[in-house]
């Protein structure tokens, strides 16, 4: 068994590795791997999946420093619609009182999706994927026009 301890690399770590290895074709990958303290096979995997890693880093932005791997949701259309609804309400300063799971189920029915399962686990991962934290809207900037809410 190998004496090396397994190391998980975040998306931002992988981006840094890609930047270091780009443009230096004269150096062997094995030497880069030793320099970076990772196995050569890991470096080869990162380089071969470079474009995919960069696309994911752009999609997830600042949270990519914590994310180890990208895993999309099962219902992409549903998530896009729910995220759009959530952002629209937040931009208007309207507090979201009904749970997101209920709204997701409602949107799923409108999109004719069968067997939509919006559990608390799904909701947790949805929030992580889109960097959503549910906090109360307070202060003067959080106040809104009651007529806009009733409309």
Check whether residue 84 and residue 135 sit in a common domain: yes
Residue 100 in domain: yes
Q: Taking the model in full, what pTM does it have?
A: 0.51
Number of domains in the chain: 2
CATH number of the domain to which 98 belongs: 1.10.10.60
Check whether residue 59 and residue 18 sit in a common domain: yes
79-114 pLDDT, tens digit each:
888 889 888 888 887 777 667 888 888 888 888 887
* The last residue of a domain, from among 25, 41, 65: 65
Rg (C-alpha) for the chain, rounded Å, is 21
Q: How far is CA 128 from CA 25, 50, 151, in A?
A: 37, 23, 31
Phi, psi of 68, rounded to the nearest 5 degrees: -90, -40
Residue 71 in domain: no
Domain extent at residue 87: 76-140
Residue 146 in domain: no
If 0-12 CB within 10 Å is exposed, 13-18 middle and 19+ buried, where does residue 147 land? exposed
7-66 pLDDT, tens digit each:
778 888 888 888 888 877 677 888 888 888 888 888 899 889 888 888 777 766 645 455
Check whether residue 43 and residue 91 sit in a common domain: no
CATH number of the domain to which 23 belongs: 1.10.10
Give the 3-state DSSP-derived string for 2-63, with helices as H, strands as E and coil as C: CCCCCCCCCHHHHHHHHHHHCCCCCCCHHHHHHHHCCCHHHHHHHHHCHHHHHHHHHHHHHH
Q: Half-sphere exposure (CA, 13 Å, Cβ side) for 41? A: 2
């Amino acid at each position: 068994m190998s004496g090396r301890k397994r190391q998980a690399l975040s998306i931002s770590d992988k981006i840094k590795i890609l930047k270091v290895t780009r443009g230096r074709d004269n150096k062997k990958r094995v030497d880069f791997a030793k320099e970076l303290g990772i196995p050569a096979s890991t470096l080869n995997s990162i380089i071969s999946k470079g474009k995919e890693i960069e696309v994911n880093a752009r999609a997830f932005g600042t949270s990519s420093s914590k994310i180890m791997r990208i895993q999309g949701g099962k219902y992409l259309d549903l998530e896009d619609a729910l995220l759009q609804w959530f952002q629209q309400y937040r931009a208007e300063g309207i507090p979201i009182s009904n749970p997101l799971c209920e709204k997701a189920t409602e949107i799923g029915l409108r999109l004719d999706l069968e067997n939509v399962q919006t559990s608390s686990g799904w909701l947790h991962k949805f929030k992580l994927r889109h960097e959503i934290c549910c906090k109360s809207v307070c202060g003067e900037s959080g106040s809104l026009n009651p007529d806009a809410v009733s409309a």
